[in-house]
Amino acid sequence: MATEAASQSDTYQEFLATVKRISNVGSAQGLLNWDQEVMMPEEGTPARSQQLSALSALSHELLTSDEMAQYLDDLEDADLDAGQQAVVREVRRKHERATRVPTELVEEISQTAAEAHPTWKEAREEDDFSTFAPTLEKLVDLKRQYAEHIDPDADPYEVLFEDYEPYLGLDTAEETLERLREELVPLVEAVRESDVDLATPFEVSASEASGGSEDVTSSGGEFDPDTQEELARDVLDTLGYDWDRGRLDTAPHPFSTGTQFDARVTTRFNPADPLGALTSTIHEFGHATYTLGLPDEHYATPLGESRDLTVHESQSRLWENHVGRSLPFWERFLPVMQERFPQLDDATPRDVYEAANTVKEDNLIRVEADELTYHMHIVVRFEVERELIAGDLDVEDVPEVWNDKYEEYLGIRPDTDAEGCLQDIHWSHGSFGYFPTYSLGSVLAAQLYDAAEDDLGDLDDRIREGEFDDLHEWLTENVHQHGCLYTTDDLVREATGESFTADHFVDYVTEKYGDLYDL
């Protein structure tokens, strides 16, 4: 008996060593992707696409090897503890999906996505969808092939969605988006009919912003981007970002990536909108603080990796919306902002709170959307990419269908492809099925925040005083430290005492915007 236990232990340790090799290859891919979007020279794509393709192939070969299959068979009925069982469960799921996909297809998808990034970037800069259309068509075809290999009898979009959220199910995403559409559309209409005008402290004249000088070019615009970067670092300091394990850079589309030892954030700056850069930075901080909260001792194993994108997005949306867009936060942070931008000296915390939560009638950009209309942006993307993957929408028709849906759901129509279907980077990565997790994450953020307040008491005073340790610790204890120990819904139940539900989010936005707009 002791011999059998020792044998199982040895098998598990050999299995875990292979798992760590796969994870480290993935981490290297992540760093190369970060470099491509942040620092790589413009002409570096031919080499980078081959590098990423080679790493994708290596990871795929390790995951689908006969050796891995044998480990999983040997551990099927082994006497493992809960953590070890979770590691085997997560790896088995990935192994079973990966073994159905040919290595050549994995390489082709990776190389095409790497080459797609500069093409998408050029198309957006030139406002010309036709530049990106052939690449998008190829990516759609490749991802259809990928989904068909994994499960030829399933809805291909569902297969792709499960790459990002394997446990809640596409039906939960559809039900959640339908509920948000039903609840938020009338709320947005009520807001637009309200007579309340919220404050606009950032709409200062160019002359004011440049200290009275008519020549604003030398000042960098209304809100100088270099000064905005200093302010972004201020907000990360305020929230408790670990600079020893992270860094801040700029990217065309803000993102966060890394491990618990190296979690990096990016943002972007608009001279007319310092608030956008701040909320973007806080959003990416939420992702990074989740990554940094994963247990060091389980690095490169599922127990040291995040629980998929619904939970990841819940962390970014919690920090961005429930903290960064709250009145107590601006009571704390506005003086710091006024030191950087004296033209805001007359603004009050209430002014900035209102500006941060204004429901915009003419905003076309998802990442600049308010908490209410944001989800209609997600619905548009969800419906467009479902039709693309199903073969019910031709790539060449995407701009027109996209614009029609914006008109239907948001009452506005893009004038350009750049502010329409080219605004997001996701499709250039081949990331179809990703977008619903943004709404799922927003919903979960409200559920987790309410659970934290149930345990800790009202958080407003702590936020007002800049004391974020209790919230950090609660999230680490109830979410971060578990890695992939639990499936998504089990993790939600462990953290909140109930299954995933949109009730908390609907209550939160109804109360918040009812107060703001006197509904």
The set of catalytic residues is 284
End-to-end CA separation in angstroms for the chain: 70
**Residue 283 parent element (H or E):** helix 274-293
Query: What does the alpha-carbon distance between residue 422 and residue 124 come to, in Å, rounded to a whole number?
Result: 6
- Report residue 219: phi and psi, to 5°: -85, -5
- Report residue 267: phi and psi, to 5°: -150, -175
Burial of 78 (0-12, 13-18, 19+ CB in 10 A): middle
- Report residue 205: phi and psi, to 5°: -75, 155
Angle of helix 2-38 relative to helix 66-74, nearest 10 degrees, comes to 130
Reading the block at residue 262, the tokens are 């190296």
**Residue 263 parent element (H or E):** strand 262-267
262-267: strand order across its sheet: 248-250, 262-267, 256-259
- Cβ atoms < 10 Å from Cβ of 3: 7
Residue 262, SS3?
strand
Place of tokens 């971060």: 480
Query: What does the alpha-carbon distance between residue 499 and residue 485 come to, in Å, rounded to a whole number?
Result: 17
Q: Do 63 and 95 meet the contact criterion of CB atoms below 8 Å apart?
A: yes
Q: Do 312 and 287 meet the contact criterion of CB atoms below 8 Å apart?
A: yes
